Amino acid sequence: MNKKNSDILHPRFSQEEILKKVDSLASEIAKDYKKLNPVFICVLKGGVYFFSDLTRAIPFSVEIDFVQARSYSGTVSTGKIDLLKDINTDLSDRHIILVEDILDTGFTLQYLVRHIFTRNPASLEIVTLLLKERKNILEFPVKYVGWRIPDEFVVGYGLDFDGKYRNLPDIHVLEPGDFSV
């Protein structure tokens, strides 16, 4: 008979720690963008909670938009990415801040960076709450980083495992359940 043990979640960053980190990132960004009328772009779906806390911590009016990409990690093409939802705002001569939950290989973000550059923005910077140190292969520098973490799988605060755990308020390290016989 098949036995499936439940996933185990190990606490990593509490809601309180996250909100403190988000506030400090927002202050840094606010200082740099005070007079630039920036557009914040949320990378769906994972960035949604970080994006909503971050933009609300900016003490002046900003514009927001959303983008969604899907990356394939199939056997053949590792870097192949599909755009599921494009950005509606006219980005030409605007200062763009792209908001991500986590950077792993960097393929998704690299695709989005190239995509945004075709729309002639005045500038583009990335903010990510988490950066996996070992695997990151992005050529484009990431200006604002919340935490650098080792190569572990994390869930919560927007981050999912197979669609689950996104709405947890804290971030946890996932130890997947045992699917063996």
Catalytic residue positions?
104
Judged by beta carbon distances under 5 to 8 A according to partner kind, the member of ligand IMP, Mg ion, none in contact with residue 53 is none
**Binding flag, residue 106, Mg ion (CB under 5 A):** no
- Chain residues binding ligand IMP by CB under 6 A are 46, 71, 100-109, 153-155, 159-160
* Whole-angstrom distance, CA of residue 34 vs CA of residue 60: 8
Taking alpha carbons only, the member of 149, 143, 139 closest to residue 29 is: 143
Given a contact cutoff of 8 angstroms between Cβ atoms, the answer to whether 150 and 166 are in contact is no
- Closer to Mg ion by CB, 9 or 98: give it: 98
- Closer to Mg ion by CB, 46 or 106: give it: 46
Q: How many beta carbons lie within 10 A of that of residue 144, not counting itself?
A: 18
- Kindly tell me the burial class for residue 151, based on how many C-beta atoms sit within 10 Å of its own C-beta (0-12, 13-18, 19 or more): exposed
CB of 92 to ligand IMP, least distance (A): 26
Binding mask 42-61 for Mg ion (x = CB under 5 A): ----x---------------
